[in-house]
Structure 1
Amino acid sequence: MIDELARAERAVATCTEAAAWALSEHDLIAALDATHRLQQRLAAVRLAVVREVDGRGVAVAQGASSTVVWLRDRLRLDMSAARRLVGLAASVDAAPAAVRDALAGGTVSVEQARVIADTAATVSASAGAEVADKAVGVLVGWAGQFEPTLLRRMGTRILDHVAPDLADAAASAALAAEAARATRDRHVTISEQTDGRLRLSGTLDAEAAALLRAVIDPLSAPADPDDTRFAGQRRHDALADVCRLALRTGELPENGGDPAQLVVTAGYDGLTRQLGAGALDTGLRLTPDTVRQLACDAAILPAVLGGAGLPLDVGRQRRLITGPLRRALVLRDGGCAFPGCDRPPRWCAAHHIRHWADGGPTSLDNAVLLCGHHHRHIHHSDWAVRLGGDGHPEFVPPAWLDPARVPRRNHYHSRT
């Protein structure tokens, strides 16, 4: 395959040196048709390779968090193009062989192949594989006349052409069953576990599902090439970000609108050392790392206990980075300041460069905006953050990632 692709590349290179202006009108159109067929055939080869790369886990083995992220960096694609490529490879791979043959033969385009594959899957689920094969044959024929959008629209009524006796009944039954099932099965279950965690499960109807996906999908995309979270962890963190945003609105009923109050308990001697473990008023114990992270942008109510566990002093609540200071931080950073992150300010917490627990001041010179993922990352990794000579944040990567430890900056947000 490598040798043949190299030969094809040389042939294409020869064509690029030829003068298109010298071609007759007939030959010019023939050249256009030929390049289009070749492009589709190459697309078929690329999809097969991408599917194999994804199936083998090549991207993860090379240190990437997913095939999509790996393709973005390897082929210099944007995330949407890389995600679409992986999805199309899977869709075509699962489609009937006729779809792959049509793409490999250059008779359908990549987008037409996706439409045909999607339609075949729908028909197979409702009318069986035999009817789906007939539908593919019809759609491949139509692909010679209709572009992808119109082809998809026509595919919604493909049963009228390949199985008219099933079309109306199948469509009506499918809609009715789907509506009844969604109404009956909608629920969310929250089960509290002994360690303070919650198990969340349920089934959403179509409307709620669309709302959730509209919010969760962009927030749960891999944040950067170094994002090692698997998909479930990213969705978990996105849900937590949504809850934080809802709390910040101040519009929740009853006790909503304020971040959870964290009561940090410590022995008197512990106050002279680093901040230790903490406990919420629900009784849940928190690790020192979690306490330090929450202390960046939360309401802290210190309580000092005597030797017998009796309260000696309970301090007043103190909001750390809010109001004019947070607004100044937003103006400076524009969003999450971690390199490569495009999260807007409303999804970000204010992080103390020198931790508040270590005596770091609450000031613009000691703060940086970080999204939920990168806030956790900074607290649990070897990355370092500091302000550059121009007063903007820069991040120093760990030595294992960059032996020279050259500082990096975020270029997604506008700077003044």
Structure 2
Amino acid sequence: MDPDPTIEAMRTAAQALRFGDARQRARAIQVAQDALDAAKALALSELEISRDHELDGASTLHGWVRNELHLTAGQATVLVRNVSSLDQLPRVADAATAGRISAAHVQAFRYGLVHVGLEKMREFEDVFLAVALEHDPGELFGAVKHLKDVVHPEDLDDAWEKGMDKQDVQVNAVPDGWHLNGFLNTVTGAKLKKVLDSVSAPNDAEDTRTGSQRRIQGLDDLLTSVLGNGLPSDKGVRPHLSVFVEADTLQAAAEHVRHAAQHPGYQPKPMPPVEPATLAGHGAIGPHLLMQMLCVSDFTAFLTKTNGNTQAQILNAGRERYQPNQLQRRSVIARQKGVCATPGCHHTHLEIHHVIWWSLGGTTDLDLLIGLCSRCHHLLHRGRLHIAGNAKNGFTFTTRSGRPLRRRRRTNYRQAA
């Protein structure tokens, strides 16, 4: 291990503590702390190889960390597990010892080594390192998880089956109300989330209720409506689940499931490395669950065209009219993968908006329609959010003050390779 990057990070922190302002001190301290965490993990790696922890009476490295460094079991586990990541990914180790990435980033790399494999993680080490340098650990974990879904789609079906085995919901009376607990499988949970997203969005920018208050009130309103009138609809379209799958993924999934059905007890034909199907509001799903949902669902095909990293363009679907027809609505939802178009928003219950308002001469053209959640739609009409452009060339989002909002890019592994 080259100690110079860590020493330099400590020297910078010491200088900032003496002369810097609060912002400089906070940044420099964080960099030094991250560098020291990595240096500590590498020191533990050497200790594990030499087994010198036995000199202090500790039979395991984990026990030595708890006894000598006085860390909790959880902290000790993180440090010891990070050792393998820094040993096997040298560029990650260099960035960590320089304080450029945190111990939490290293944990995400370790997840990749365990669940994706050393060969693939080394192949995409530079790609993931670039993500880690620019984004928080959660964003890096999401990128690594996406690669795992592409490389090992069968794990998605395994997780689905495990969820089916432990599903349960109980509503029990307690002195101060009702206690709800349980576990839902992938599909049932997605349905519940879809319903809660639909009924618990803020009314407008002045809606000061907490998230828990909105969810409970929305659930109460929904139950009242169900008991009295049945489920609510949105301009004739009831809330529904959306599954998005590329044509080559659908074909590969069908062949994979067909082969498994025709050869029970044998290793199924492996899936090629294609983009997995996604269930809106949940994430990637495996080929078996995809085919089961396809069997009991309506199916709508869309011809799309992509241009680099821009949003997929769906060809116009219907003549001009004031209210978007059902096909246009579904086209907008498909174009946005079932999620609100506003950067940073993840609500999945969408209302269709004319980018050029109808009252200002806008037309009901698919390229000028966009899907927004109720809250973002309210923000737009109240002047707090502005949207320009079109689906073909891309939409731009700005706040009332003109500050742009940008959606984070998703890593394209096949292009990066």
Scaled by the length of structure 1, the TM-score of the pair is 0.34
Larger radius of gyration: 1
The higher relative CO (CA closer than 8 Å, separation ≥ 6) is in 2
Scaled by the length of structure 2, the TM-score of the pair is 0.34
